[in-house]
Amino acid sequence: MIDIIVSVLALAFAFSISRLEFFPIILLTVGVGFVAHELAHRFVANHYGAKAFYRAWPEGLLFMFATAAITGGKFLFAAPGAVYIYSTYLSKRENGIISISGAVMNFLLAIFFLFVAVAIGVGGTPKADMLAESFISFGTYMNLYLAFFNMIPIPPLDGSKVIAWSFPVWAAFMLILVILVFGIF
């Protein structure tokens, strides 16, 4: 639990490095997205009979802060830790499904944030509108970014395991994420 808390706080700070006034909103949105991502890995791994535990990765935390500082928060190495999976045997398919489950969860959360944006619209006070728009915008972007980043096919990221399982699944999902992350935001 401590590793998750440290990772969420570190990730939220890194994402808000150039916009600290939004730290509470970023903490909430990236916290939900990060925890849901890691829990998705754990639940799917458990479904396949594997044990799964989250562990912080100190080097990843440091690299995340370095990339956030260098780029002013525009890019960060968003891997402060990972769910480690223990099993006597997992097929490439099962490992691929476990690996993509976190990014799919972030994608679904991003869709949820977009749905909320449409459902509530705006029209309250200017400050309430700004808070709502910030919450929705950060919630959508943070989750799309986490999904995209984790699908980069470089070990130890999830994308390397998904591509080892199924290049077409990885390519289709990554294409959608690239369009959404770079085309809309």
SS3 at position 84: strand
Q: Is 38 a catalytic residue?
A: yes
Residue from 144, 185, 156, 151 nearest 170 by CA: 151
The alpha carbon dihedral of 34, 38, 44, 46 has a sign of negative
Q: Of these residues, 21, 38, 59, 133, which one is catalytic?
A: 38
Alpha helices by DSSP H, the chain: 2-15, 23-47, 58-71, 92-120, 126-150, 158-165, 167-178
* Other CB atoms within 10 Å distance of the CB of residue 33: 28
Total residue length of the chain? 185
| Active-site residue list | 38
